[in-house]
Amino acid sequence: MKTAGNTILITGGGSGIGRELAARFHALGNTVIVAGRRKEALEQTIAGREGMHAITLDMENPQAIAACARQLLADHPSLNVLINNAGILRREDLTRPRDLHDAEKTIVTNLLGPIRLTNALIDHLAHQPDAAVVNVTSGLAFVPLSWAPTYCASKAALHSYTLSLREQLKGKVEVIELAPPGVQTELEPGQSGREGFMTLDEFIEEAMALFSEKPTPAEILVRQVRPLRWAERDDNFDQAIEALNAL
């Protein structure tokens, strides 16, 4: 993936990993558009940065995604990189019947949202030079955390979808998977101070170094996530799931 001279859309750009990716790619000389629900948070991301733009987007609403795609292509016809970063995590108790609102919202946001947005932009991207789609999954796609079952399932599904997308777009659009470990963001309340998680700065530094490699790895895997990614291959899955769920 070319790291400069792109026009990049980053969903979930109002906070956490999305905000930091936006700042780093902008600093490398890219035009960056951040998208998300909260206009105020997006404006904080772009404040003082010429060549960075914001657009509100509800990833749960297919009509809003289609309308956003049309506006994006009208305003930024050079768009050539999509980073599907927006996502939510909810704790769930599977031991009793419950309202499935959180589970359904998670699937729609984390899986259907990226599928719908990629679908809305793919014809355009396929005709752009140096085009790329980056899907942000998680180390939990490979070793699940029991109290976040739908989140883990949604990221596992997005990983699988990314593999198929890469195969179908071979030679047209580069498809990259970014799989973070636990990072100190507010994905879940209190997570930004959780011991044992990577600091956001540490994660971004290592991830951006991997993005700059030539060729760019098909999977951006910082060191801390590799034990999860390769647990099954290394015949360490049972130990990994036990250790993860003991935290």
Q: C-alpha angle with apex 188: 218 to 67, nearest 5 degrees?
A: 65
pLDDT of 147 > 80? The answer is yes
Instruction: Give the model's pLDDT for residue 196.
Output: 79
Mean pLDDT of the chain: 96
pLDDT of 170 > 90? The answer is yes
The Cα 71–Cα 67 span in angstroms is 6
In sequence order, the β-bridge partners of residue 36 are 56
- Catalytic amino acids? 151
In sequence order, the β-bridge partners of residue 174 are 132
Our CA dihedral for 100, 112, 11, 106, rounded to 10 degrees, sits at: 10
Percentage above 70 pLDDT, the chain:
100
Q: Would you say residue 1 lies in a domain?
A: no
Instruction: Give the model's pLDDT for residue 44.
Output: 95
pTM of structure: 0.96
Instruction: Give the model's pLDDT for residue 61.
Output: 95
Could you read off the pLDDT of 115-127 as tens digits, one per residue? 999 999 999 999 9
Do 86 and 134 meet the contact criterion of CB atoms below 8 Å apart? no
Could you read off the pLDDT of 183-221 as tens digits, one per residue? 998 787 777 777 778 999 999 999 999 999 999 999 999
Could you read off the pLDDT of 13-47 as tens digits, one per residue? 999 999 999 999 999 999 999 999 999 999 999 99
CATH of the domain at 119: 3.40.50.720
Could you read off the pLDDT of 175-184 as tens digits, one per residue? 999 999 999 9
Instruction: Give the model's pLDDT for residue 17.
Output: 97
The range of the structural domain enclosing residue 42 comes to 7-245
Q: Would you say residue 122 lies in a domain?
A: yes
Q: Would you say residue 93 lies in a domain?
A: yes
Q: C-alpha angle with apex 136: 205 to 3, nearest 5 degrees?
A: 50
Number of domains observed in the structure of the chain: 1
Q: What is the mean pLDDT of residues 71-81?
A: 97
Q: Would you say residue 2 lies in a domain?
A: no
Instruction: Give the model's pLDDT for residue 163.
Output: 98
Q: Would you say residue 42 lies in a domain?
A: yes
Coil vs helix vs strand at 183: strand
Instruction: Give the model's pLDDT for residue 187.
Output: 83
